[in-house]
Homo-oligomer: A and B are copies of this chain.
């Protein structure tokens, strides 16, 4: 990816300080890279004093990624100012747009006119231009595309035809493909003369006459071989090409599994149409990881950058579902109002059983959801894992039965009460372990994302079981 070649005070001193740290331990804690807060403050100060040339000087020293962070962190008004300042340089360096959080990018783009944006994007690799354009509103997108050169435009329109989150939307259209019968020498000569190659590439793909990839060669291999060597002697036949429609999660798995730096993307007829590079996959891996974390936490992607209303709306749904499950749990308690009236201690202790169940279940659930995403848990080992969870639940169930039982017995001077909470604890933790495995596996079987829905089902089960076991036993034993 194209990096700005401007010298940078920030980076220079950063590099020095990190290249020769006073003491290595210190270096591991300090963070010499990324946007430094001092610089951000300097820029904010310069904006307040409306010393715009100073803002320009400081900002233009930033790497695109740091520039993006700056814009994300600044107050919306300051952001506008900075964009106005760097606007003239946009055409020569719009890379930072690709690093921006989509919500912030939308604001920035609104500030530019379509022709300006089109010119800026034309300078980027096709996949980077695509990243920006695919997020634009229909009308803006049209205007931008109309202002772009034909090929770039065709590439992007083709990309938009592939499903969201597919390899077709990740791929870059610039790549190196050569016939098998070439030599290293011929290939090198070709690379030295050819026009509009990608800024950076890691593999040379070997194609057959029908433009199907039949192998790839790491360029370090080419670099190390004599000119006379035939590509056929270097080629890695076992090529793992990616159908353009393949989901990006699958693509990430592929790169992760086989340590790829780039992969050939093929159309439905198996013809080479693009390449996915590892830097894009790193972003995908981050997204997918954040996705699972957020889904389990009941929030949506981009939450941090959404405004108050949008965030409230997005979170409302999840809380609504939770309210329903909470009411279900309460109705279980309601069944035992009479019992509670006679032994108020039950009201005091019942949350303990339920919350232990919820936490034990969440532990299992977390492991299961991650394992399913990493393809480490499925039909083949489900039974073994479930059985293990039952045993773990039993062991911790017994241990906490003793502890909680003792606490309750001492607190309320009632041994029977201790026995009741203890037995309830055992039942609840076993069920928690079991449902922590079964629920995500079942959802996955029915093609529902386990990360989203599992938590709700789980807490419903653990609450219901927890309250029912405890209050039920109490009603039976203590009355």
Contact = CB atoms under 8 A, between A and B. Distances in A.
Interface in A16-60: 18-21, 23-25, 27-29, 31, 33-34, 37, 40
A462 to B, nearest CB: 11
A312 B396 contact: yes
Contacts of A212: 19-20
A448 interface: no
Interface size class of A (residues with CB under 8 A): 35 or more
A55 to B, nearest CB: 17
B28 A293 contact: no
B220 A202 contact: yes
A400 to B, nearest CB: 6
Given A243-B27, A250-B28, A376-B304, A407 B319 contact: no
A197 to B, nearest CB: 7
How many copies of this chain does one complex carry? 2
Interface stretch (A80-88, A140-148, A149-157, A222-230): A222-230
A291 to B, nearest CB: 10
A200 B224 CA distance: 10
Nearest to A204: B223
Interface stretch (A115-123, A129-137, A254-262, A438-446): A254-262
Contact of A352 (B241, B299, B327, B407): B327
Interface string A388-409: 1001100110011001100100
A245 B24 contact: yes
Given A11-B238, A329-B355, 6 more contacts: A20-B268, A27-B245, A28-B163, A308-B391, A323-B352, A330-B352
